[in-house]
Amino acid sequence: MRDIITVTTHQRETLIDITEEVKEVVRASGVRDGLVSVYAQGATAAVMIQENWDESVQTDVINFMRQIIPRGVWLHDRQDGNGDSHLKAGLVGPSETMPVIDGKPGLSTWQNIFLCEFDGPRSERHIVCTVLND
């Protein structure tokens, strides 16, 4: 089964928790045991599994990315000013795959699934969720 999650982003760089939306796709699929793939469409977005208990982790991720990949110093900036966004998305990667266990994504207590926006705000970001049966 495949479904598309659509998210609106409101900042240039942010992590948006999409765990509940992914859980709903898995639930609707009826798959009890298998895999779920979560894939962000777009060259300046990514998907990350990270802690959600403490929001400082999300802030730390954004601040770390800003430190290692600063804005405004890349060749691609001559085109449209978002060279850093492409590099950040490439470093994190566009997708995560996790097991489906008893009808739910196999996340631990402290893990959540995030869309990483590196070039917002965007009226629509599309995340493709594909659920495969065991």
Residue that is written with structure tokens 């965007």 in the block: 122
Q: How many domains does the chain have?
A: 1
- Torsion over CA: 56, 130, 42, 89 (sign): positive
- Express each pLDDT in 36-92 by its tens digit: 999 999 999 999 999 988 889 999 999 999 999 999 999 999 999 999 999 999 999
State the pLDDT at residue 52: 87
Non-local CB neighbours of 47 within 8 Å, separated by 6+ positions: 38, 39, 40, 92, 93, 94, 95, 96, 113, 114, 115, 116, 127
Report the CATH number at residue 72.
Answer: 2.60.120.460
State the Cα angle at 33 between 17 and 90, rounded to 5°: 40
State the pLDDT at residue 131: 98
CA–CA separation, 89 and 104 (whole Å): 26
Give the Cβ contact number of residue 21 at 10 Å: 19
Choose among 23, 21, 49, 35: nearest CA to 116: 49
Q: pTM of the entire structure?
A: 0.96
Q: Write out the residue range of the structural domain in which residue 119 sits.
A: 2-133
- Residue 25 to residues 5, 14, 129, 130, Cα–Cα distance (Å): 9, 23, 7, 9
